[in-house]
Structure 1
């Protein structure tokens, strides 16, 4: 009778121990593979896209900087490769204007000396008739004046284009990749084949 009680007590003790161990093993498992894989997939997708807040003042700032100093707006937009182009374009316009202005003053001074009775200018020559007549000097002055005005207009146009370019670039930089247009890594658990799928997902929303 005593041995029977001992056997029953040992059986109950073993059953309680096995039940407790089984419960502990079950609790130690965090989640199913599907749940874990889905959570990892969601983390990868969410972390793959970083949305930056829009700066509505960026275009006006870029335009203002370029108005103060050509190329400064491009530097603000981090388009550094455009700065040499801006200075080359505006610098060429200024050079052409200054060259035409120099030639215009040259012909004007010679014409004034002609009117004063001097015949020792570079266009008069040694003969009785000058190489360039007074009418020729007048035509040269008119042509150089038009060239001056045109080059000055082109230079101001390039200056304005520099401001517009900085403003438009700042607007375009606002369209960063977000949920409406994004290329994301794709990772999920395939329950049918008991395997994981890894790929790339392209999202495009209107």
Structure 2
């Protein structure tokens, strides 16, 4: 029985070609560091907000704590963040079914726009609080509200930078190899939503 010539035998280590036939998918193991990095980032953020939560609960027990009234615009920002997560989730599902990520550009653009709307709505909330003379230094409850919502907003802006990179490549580079990056962005967005809902519940404890 003749043995196959190793020079002509198919190379099993060669990555599978993409459906368009001119680009190879990156092996999943090469995406593992990015996924682990996102999990590590979320773990660090969780610990950070946990420590602030402990400080919030301890400070709330002192006599000078005065609960603040939350403006109705806070509900608008919450709805925008929920919708951005839904849009990104649908974009991720569509990218999994289609061979081309650029076909998902409308949903990706919607997710970016809704997230920017969330950031602007948060600035609107702060503006309304200042208009009601609810300022940072007036009492500890105000200080914690500005601190925690601002910290959450910083992490949202950081996620927008990553999502903007995905959107740029999907729109201008016509790259089909960004689906793993899109999945990581969706995971991070759902995490930000959970943190935000947790903060809303924490604020209502007072």
**Which protein shows a greater Rg?**
1
RCO comparison, higher one (Cα < 8 Å, 6+): 1
Structure with more of its chain in strand, by fraction: 1
* Richer in helix (by share): 2
Normalising by structure 2, what TM-score? 0.29
TM-score, normalised by the number of residues in structure 1: 0.29
